[in-house]
């Protein structure tokens, strides 16, 4: 078996506005780089390549926890040493914890001769998400591993569906504030009105149908959230202005990426996506809040072996 591998672990956008915990897409940018070595002793060792303060205890690390589960399931005298080049900032809403968890599981599986299925890898990677947020959700790790757009039809039992989608452009602005996933979950309502649930179900079904039918108008109409976004958006300065002005500039629609603070917008072409980026920059320049922006596309490959 090969003893060492390097992978590119991509960022992701979870929820896709209306699909809380059930929809997600994979991005071409930003990415983490992870180097994983196979060891002949039962341990997991974590290194931060660039000095970013990552937990060294593997049980408290989003890359380490999935590998502990994998080793326990195999019940073999093996382990892994991981070096993480962390480029996706934790708390950005761009799937930082998922990139670590998914990248580690894909790399480890490669070193073991690809003995696990993608669904197995998602099952392991969810332990990393539990470390980050206290909840084993799959809407980031699934697209990170499968690539493209994924639907989490069920967690128990785990049932993941890959959704065909158009080659859309994704514009992202990441205001330089942190919104912890665990905190963003705590503010959500525990119960919703039936009329809101019905409207949300229609939007989820419409968005999936829009992706599958390459119907851009339907995608745009379905990018509406009446349950989660109204609560979480108050944590993100400038959110309402970004969403309305980007749609006026030609974006199909968009919203909060994961639990925020990043905001994403989908566009049909690169020219529109770049106009949308300028709108985002102008809004945050006027607010006076530092930010990063990305103009990228949907990554249909997921975690990639690069060496």
Q: Give the CB-side neighbour count of residue 139, counting CA atoms within 13 A.
A: 21
- Active-site residue, selected from the candidate residues 150, 181, 229, 272: 181
Q: Is 129 a catalytic residue?
A: yes
Work out the pLDDT band at 54, boundaries 50, 70, 90.
confident
Read off the pTM.
0.94
Q: Are 23 and 150 in contact (CB under 8 A)?
A: yes
Q: Which residues pair with 293 in a beta bridge?
A: 173
Please, where in the chain does CATH 3.30.230.10 lie?
A: 4-163+300-305
Express each pLDDT in 175-215 by its tens digit.
998 776 666 666 677 888 999 999 999 999 999 999 999 99
Distances (CA, A) of 5 to 2, 102, 224: 8, 14, 41
The closest of 237, 302, 290 to 89, measured between CA atoms, is: 290
Q: What is the CATH number of domain 169-297?
A: 3.30.70.890
| pLDDT, averaged across the chain | 94
Express each pLDDT in 233-243 by its tens digit.
988 999 999 99
Three-class SS state of 16: coil
Tokens in use for 89?
């900032």
Work out the pLDDT band at 244, boundaries 50, 70, 90.
very high
Check residue 227 and report its DSSP letter: S
Please, where in the chain does CATH 3.30.70.890 lie?
A: 169-297
Phi first, then psi, for residue 214 (nearest 5°) are 55, 40
| Residue 259: predicted pLDDT | 87
Domain covering 4-163+300-305, topology: Ribosomal Protein S5; domain 2 (3.30.230)
- Active-site residue, selected from the candidate residues 12, 35, 105, 129: 129
Lowest mean pLDDT among 102-106, 131-135, 181-185: 181-185
Check residue 233 and report its DSSP letter: G
Q: Is 181 a catalytic residue?
A: yes
């Amino acid at each position: 078996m090969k003893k060492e591998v390097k992978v590119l672990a991509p960022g992701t956008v979870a929820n896709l506005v209306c699909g809380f915990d059930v929809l997600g897409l994979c991005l071409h940018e930003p990415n983490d780089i992870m180097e994983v070595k196979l060891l002949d002793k039962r341990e997991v060792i974590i290194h931060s390549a660039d000095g970013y303060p990552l937990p060294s205890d593997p049980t408290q690390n989003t890359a380490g926890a999935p590998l502990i589960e994998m080793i326990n399931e195999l019940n073999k005298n093996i382990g892994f040493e991981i070096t993480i080049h962390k480029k996706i900032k934790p708390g950005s809403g761009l799937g930082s914890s998922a990139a670590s968890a998914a990248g580690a599981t894909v790399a480890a599986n490669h070193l073991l001769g690809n003995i696990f299925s993608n669904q197995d890898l998602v099952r392991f990677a969810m332990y990393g998400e539990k470390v980050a947020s206290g909840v084993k959700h799959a809407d980031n790790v699934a697209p990170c591993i499968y690539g493209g757009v994924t639907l989490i039809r069920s967690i128990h039992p785990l049932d993941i569906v890959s959704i065909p989608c158009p080659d859309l452009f994704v514009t992202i602005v990441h205001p330089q504030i942190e919104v912890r996933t665990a905190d963003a979950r705590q503010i959500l309502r525990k119960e919703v009105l039936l009329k809101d649930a019905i409207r949300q179900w229609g939007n989820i079904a419409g968005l999936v149908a829009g992706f599958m039918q390459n119907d851009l108008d339907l995608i745009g109409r379905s990018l509406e959230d009446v349950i989660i976004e109204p609560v979480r958006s108050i944590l993100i300065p400038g959110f309402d202005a970004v969403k309305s002005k980007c749609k006026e500039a030609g974006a199909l629609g968009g919203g909060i990426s994961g639990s925020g603070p990043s905001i994403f917008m989908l566009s049909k072409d690169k020219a529109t996506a770049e106009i949308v980026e300028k709108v985002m920059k102008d809004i945050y320049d006027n607010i006076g809040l530092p930010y990063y922006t990305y103009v990228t596309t949907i990554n249909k490959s997921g975690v990639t072996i690069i060496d």
